[in-house]
Structure 1
Amino acid sequence: MRFVAGLDGGGTKTAVTIADDQGRVVHSFTSGGMNYNGQDEDSVRQNLQEIVDTIASVCGGLDYCVQICIGAAGVSNPTVTSRLEATIRACGYHGDLLILGDQETALSGAHGRPYGIILIAGTGSICYGKNESGDVHRSGGYGHLIDDEGSGYSIGRDLISAVVRANDGRAPETVITEMVYRQLNMTKVAEMIGFVYDARTHKKDIAALAPILSEACLLGDQAALGIAHRSAASLFELVIPVAEKLSLQEGVLAMAGSVLLKNHFVKTALVDMLQEKYPKLQCITPKQDASIGAVLMALERLNRAI
């Protein structure tokens, strides 16, 4: 029996699905992230080794896994693909390997077909589309240092910013302050700033604060509601160029990632903006996740090779 594996490698975690060559899923699991743009080399290597070892165990040996497709965050950085491949090979896998942007595998899984639009707002944010003519376009996804507005990282950063602004008196007091302190187990701004600028703090640690936004919005906190609206507006900006350039204003948009799947306030505001501009654009929840999308692409590649 031959197997394929699909990896959805994000900044916070990696979802892995293993299927046989007939497309039947035999095992799914999660491991740590694999984004070189936001993680150190050693942690990525450790996570990939764990993934490869688990694939070997499930398949009865790595030789039986004939295709691995990785949809990875951070491949806009031209060095990431070669580093990922080198690490996978060093972990012992020598079969066929396909490395793509995670937006491509997410699109495949979300629609169950290779065309449509996918908007992802997880640790980072990106919009990607492909029309039936095969034309593609993307917007966003250039990393937390210069982009990723509307993402979990962006929201976490904005929550921290709300705390310091309120502390200074630049903005009214907000319930966000107590919530952030509680989650970080801190009591003052100086401690929080130490956490933010500590070299051991990664973007996923900032993004982990994002769920606070929903709780604060439910309480009617104005600072939180403002963050939610700005996040929705940033995500809306990502969709426009993709829909316009690919003539998919009347197509289907899948909304993925923890921000859009778990934050009602951001999602509702975004959908309202989209419906006002594109009344015939259909917004859906992804049919399947990006690791399944990677499996579908691995199977397609395997079948083409036969």
Structure 2
Amino acid sequence: MSTQHHWKHTWPCAKVFGEFLCSKREEIAEKVVLEIGAGATGVAGLTAAKLGAEKVWMTDHPDLETALTTLQKNIEANGVEEKCHVAGLDWDSRASVADVILKIGDRLDIIIASDVFFDPATFRPLVDTLAQLLIKFEHAVVWFAYQLRDDSWTCAPQLAKYRFLKTNLVRRIETEKETIDIFQMTNNFFSESLGYYAGIEGGATGSKLVIIDADTNQRYTSSAPGTNFFLTDHTIICQRIADWILEVFEKGSLDIQKLRAVGLGLSGAEDEEFNRKFVEGFKKNNKGLTENFYLTSDSVMTLLANFPGEENGIVLIAGTGSSCRLKMSNGEVKGAGGWGHQIGDGGSAFWIAREAIQLLFDAEDGMIDGWDTVVIKELLFEHYQINDKTRILDFLYSKFEKHRIADFAVSLATRVDDPAVAEVFRRAGDILGRHVRTVAKHLSEEDRQTLHIVQIGGVFQSWSALETGFVNALKGAGIQKFVMYDPCDSPAMGAAVLAARETRGIYLEQKEEKTKLREISVEED
């Protein structure tokens, strides 16, 4: 930090933040103010002094002697030397922060900072510093401005360490060249409750709900049937979700009035216009819940939860259904699959079951040669308690339920030692690999060399049977290796986290590290 030279310049944030402070004239008047990262110019601190602050402490790294000397001269040139005081403050040193706290005394009302979140390496010490200040001066308010840039930044993990910190976006300013956000941070321990945030992972077969108490980080979880609104009318799904949330709140003796937002990652939620209508209908028919919703597909929700920064990442789902989504470093999302069992779901449990059943019928009809399907037939009879293969047609047509067909994949997975069953899983691996290959086309040649993939779904429990087909599908695409992970947290938790962040500007604590499962090189033939 002390070796950088950002202090020599006045950045675009300075003017915009100064105008914001002017709009807060009455709140600043007669207050004690601390500026962090003042640099040589101290525009924000000088503005506060001119607006009638009683005292302004202006700080930067103690090793930046030239900057601090120039800052003092700037204070004198503006005729506010009686109000403004310069001090060194090293964010990396708790002792330095304590020393500044000692100098300030018993009262600090406002902390201001203009464009201090410019380097991810400083996020941890900066958040630590703000937390230390707000612990001491519990009723102080922090205002800070940030210019949106292309370089990666997220201080969510650092903020999650301090559950009492409440951070909200209070203003967004679009200039001709920049987008500048202004945030407010307070010590929420002494203010109103942060409330509850609900997240739902809605699959075709089953769904999971998590409710987070943002004040204590306590989790309440529940499971329910599927919530794919292409398999069930969306109005029924809407009411099912509302009733489910109310039931969990009632069982947990939780106050539904404190539900601040709901994040929904639902299977089939791919159309933005339909999603908007779904949310409107939800609000209209369930006014007692909340006004804040964040809705997207289960795959995109998992993607955003596991790759929150500006990195490339892939989520590959192979459960009852299947889909693949890529988040590029610029935030753009690309996809392959996810279109349901009629035209998609390749490599999913449903697809594996249907493929095995078709292999059985085709082999016994004489349509194909070379496959002994005795094991598939035995498994089919045992799983569905039938004694003639034609009885499966009842389950495929008149009694059709997607999950009941998909369940057969579990039985098949117990006999991947059988050549016919193994071939079905190899084909599933091939299709899943082609999903990844397809989305990877959107990456540059350099970024495509190593792929990071979060896997979701029970099909991956049979990875050894999928691997050959999967790896072969990636050959010739410029992919040198891929790394696969379990998600850092449940998709339902990710939904709650995203709802809190996107609708309320609050960062909930969640697991940060994805569990690495395997790293495999793709060797060309």
From the superposition, tell whether residues 7 and 260 of structure 1 become closer, same or farther in structure 2 (CA, over 3 Å): same
State whether structure 2 residue 468 is matched by structure 1 residue 265: no
1:29 counterpart residue number: 222
**What whole-Å deviation, never above 9, does each CA across 1:168-192 have from its counterpart, x for those lacking one?**
3445333011111111111112211
Structure 1 or 2: more helix by fraction: 1
2:334 counterpart residue number: 137
Q: 2:209 is matched by which residue type in structure 1?
A: V
Correspondence list, 1:50-199, <5 A: 50-57=243-250, 58=252, 60-76=254-270, 79=274, 82-83=277-278, 86-87=281-282, 90-91=285-286, 92-111=288-307, 113=309, 115=311, 116-171=313-368, 172-198=372-398
Alignment partners' CA distance in 2, 1:28 and 1:139: 31
2:107 counterpart residue number: none
Q: Contact 1:271/1:283 (CA < 8 Å) preserved in 2?
A: no
State whether structure 2 residue 403 is matched by structure 1 residue 204: yes
- Give the 3-state SS of the residue equivalent to 1:254 in structure 2: strand
1:294 counterpart residue number: 495
Q: 2:324 is matched by which residue type in structure 1?
A: C
- Give the 3-state SS of the residue equivalent to 1:210 in structure 2: helix
Alignment partners' CA distance in 1, 2:504 and 2:238: 30
Identity of aligned residues (%): 24
Q: Contact 2:196/2:258 (CA < 8 Å) preserved in 1?
A: yes
Q: Contact 1:129/1:246 (CA < 8 Å) preserved in 2?
A: no
From the superposition, tell whether residues 27 and 264 of structure 1 become closer, same or farther in structure 2 (CA, over 3 Å): farther
- Give the 3-state SS of the residue equivalent to 2:356 in structure 1: helix
Shift, 1:132, TM fit: 2.1
From the superposition, tell whether residues 271 and 53 of structure 1 become closer, same or farther in structure 2 (CA, over 3 Å): farther
2:137 counterpart residue number: none
Selected match of 1:14 from 207, 227, 231: 207
Selected match of 1:225 from 416, 422, 436: 422
Q: Contact 2:305/2:494 (CA < 8 Å) preserved in 1?
A: yes
From the superposition, tell whether residues 98 and 243 of structure 1 become closer, same or farther in structure 2 (CA, over 3 Å): same
Q: Contact 2:283/2:291 (CA < 8 Å) preserved in 1?
A: no
Q: 2:403 is matched by which residue type in structure 1?
A: K
- Give the 3-state SS of the residue equivalent to 1:259 in structure 2: helix
Q: 2:494 is matched by which residue type in structure 1?
A: G
- Give the 3-state SS of the residue equivalent to 1:14 in structure 2: strand
**What whole-Å deviation, never above 9, does each CA across 1:132-171 have from its counterpart, x for those lacking one?**
2222211111111111111111111112213323443445
Q: 2:296 is matched by which residue type in structure 1?
A: L
**What whole-Å deviation, never above 9, does each CA across 1:97-131 have from its counterpart, x for those lacking one?**
11101112111344465751111111111111112
Higher relative contact order (CA 8 A, sep 6+): 1
Alignment partners' CA distance in 1, 2:421 and 2:472: 18
Alignment partners' CA distance in 1, 2:279 and 2:467: 33
- Give the 3-state SS of the residue equivalent to 2:408 in structure 1: coil
Alignment partners' CA distance in 1, 2:402 and 2:310: 30
- Give the 3-state SS of the residue equivalent to 1:255 in structure 2: strand
Shift, 1:217, TM fit: 0.8
**What whole-Å deviation, never above 9, does each CA across 1:169-216 have from its counterpart, x for those lacking one?**
445333011111111111112211122111x42211111111123212
Larger Rg: 2
TM-score (norm 1): 0.87
1:44 counterpart residue number: 237
From the superposition, tell whether residues 258 and 43 of structure 1 become closer, same or farther in structure 2 (CA, over 3 Å): farther
Q: Contact 1:16/1:29 (CA < 8 Å) preserved in 2?
A: yes
Alignment partners' CA distance in 2, 1:65 and 1:203: 33
TM-score (norm 2): 0.53
- Give the 3-state SS of the residue equivalent to 1:211 in structure 2: helix
Unaligned residue ranges in structure 1 (runs of 5+): none
Unaligned residue ranges in structure 2 (runs of 5+): 1-192, 508-525
Deviation larger for 112-121 or 179-188? 112-121
Q: Contact 2:211/2:220 (CA < 8 Å) preserved in 1?
A: yes
Please tell me the root mean square deviation across aligned C-alpha atoms, in Å. Answer: 2.7
Q: Contact 2:293/2:503 (CA < 8 Å) preserved in 1?
A: no
Q: How many residues align?
A: 303
1:234 counterpart residue number: 431
Shift, 1:28, TM fit: 1.4
**What whole-Å deviation, never above 9, does each CA across 1:15-74 have from its counterpart, x for those lacking one?**
111112258242112111111212356863564244222343236232211110000111
Deviation larger for 137-146 or 252-261? 252-261
Alignment partners' CA distance in 2, 1:106 and 1:232: 21
Alignment partners' CA distance in 2, 1:14 and 1:216: 28
Shift, 1:6, TM fit: 0.8
- Give the 3-state SS of the residue equivalent to 1:51 in structure 2: helix
Alignment partners' CA distance in 2, 1:23 and 1:163: 54
Q: Contact 2:326/2:335 (CA < 8 Å) preserved in 1?
A: yes
Q: Contact 1:19/1:25 (CA < 8 Å) preserved in 2?
A: yes
